[in-house]
Amino acid sequence: MAVTYFKKENYQRKPEWLKVKLPQGDDFKDIRDNLHKKGLATVCEEAKCPNISECWSARTATVMILGDTCTRACKFCHVKTGNPKGFINPEEIQNTSDMVKIMSLRYVVITSVDRDDLADHGSGHFAAVIKKVNLDHPETKVEVLIPDFGVIEEFMHKLAEANPYVIAQNLETVKRLTHPVRDPRAGYEKTLDCLKFYKKHYPHIQTKTSLMVGLGETWQEIQEALEDIRNAGVDIVTFGQYLQPSKRHLNVEKFYTPEEFNELKRMALKLGFKFVASGPLVRSSYKAGDFLDYVEANP
């Protein structure tokens, strides 16, 4: 198995396999222009995701709700942090439904910042958005990438009872690196407990998590994390390369090769996951609709 390491001063010099073309094509431009006319925005565009053209062409997109300010400050994430002081934009509910219509989405991923400032951690608003999309677009599958809601069962029930197709919460990294990487209020066991909860109480809903690699983890630690994830009953796992969003964030310790991502996929499939996405540019919601294709092909 090939291993590629980079000298300290070259960590952020990306290898060839991480270079992608700029978004292009009439289809992409038409969708973008229609969204802008309505004053709507996707995470895909705001985060300058390199996979945007590919996902939009497959009628998959990611929407962020509950504002743009996160109450947590993970060391890998470029989202703005602060205290939103309880503000929620009620128009997000209708706007999300409008976005699904404009983009003719067959699969939508709804995610959010953490909102520890809210009494219910935002679970009620999240549920309202899911219900609206399900009502207006019954043909569209809804995946949610959610906060831990403080691991409070009342709030987790509220989210799940809105009946999303997939519930995702990201473990992000191996156990040893959790608190150098994630906010102190997040936790390795916390995320596993959430994933166990949803699978126990709502077994018909698929569960999903993601791991970033390149933060200094070992192969043995990845194996142990995968075993913990599978023991939590998780159905889907994804692997992607960590990329440093700014100099203030954690350094990349290693760029994994495409061959190594193939090995990660083999490791996960061997443990019995239903579906695995693994690659340098894979993100939690990258081509999320591929799971739908898999289910339809394997009834």
CA distances, 223 to each of 125, 270, 280 (Å)? 36, 11, 18
Q: What is the pLDDT of residue 11?
A: 45
Res 5: pLDDT: 36
Residue 54, pLDDT score: 78
Q: Are 105 and 96 in contact (CB under 8 A)?
A: no
Residues in the chain with pLDDT < 70?
1-12, 20-27, 41, 46-48
CATH of the domain at 120: 3.80.30.20
Residue 145 bridge partners (DSSP): 111, 168
Number of domains making up the chain: 1
In a domain, 2, yes or no: no
Give the integer Cα–Cα distance in Å for 194 and 158. Answer: 13
Q: What is the pLDDT of residue 20?
A: 67
d(CA 162, CA 150): 18
Q: What angle do CA 174, 177, 183 make, to 5 degrees?
A: 110
Longest CA–CA span in the chain (Å) reads 53
Residue 3 lies in a domain: no
Question: In this predicted structure, what is the pLDDT of residue 244?
Answer: 86
173 falls within a domain: yes
The half-sphere exposure of 131 on its side-chain side, counting CA atoms within 13 A, is 11
pLDDT value at position 34?
77
Asked, for residue 17, whether it belongs to a domain, the answer is: yes
Q: Is residue 143 part of a domain?
A: yes
Look at the alpha carbons of 266, 268, 271, 276 in this order and tell me if their dihedral is positive or negative: negative
- 67, 68, 93, 174 from 89: Cα distances, Å: 7, 11, 8, 35
Say what the pTM is.
0.90
Assigned domain for 86 exists? yes
For 195, half-sphere exposure in the C-beta direction (CA atoms, 13 angstrom radius) is: 26
Q: How far apart are CA 83 and CA 69, in angstroms?
A: 7
pLDDT number for residue 293: 83
1 assigned to some structural domain: no
User: Which structural domain range is residue 193 located in?
Assistant: 8-297
Q: Which regions of 17-96 does DSSP assign to beta strands (E)?
A: 60-65, 69-70, 80-81
Q: Which of 170, 237, 167 is nearest to 204 (CA)?
A: 167
Q: What is the pLDDT of residue 120?
A: 98
Q: What is the predicted pLDDT for the residue at 254? A: 95
- Classify residue 284: in a domain, yes or no: yes
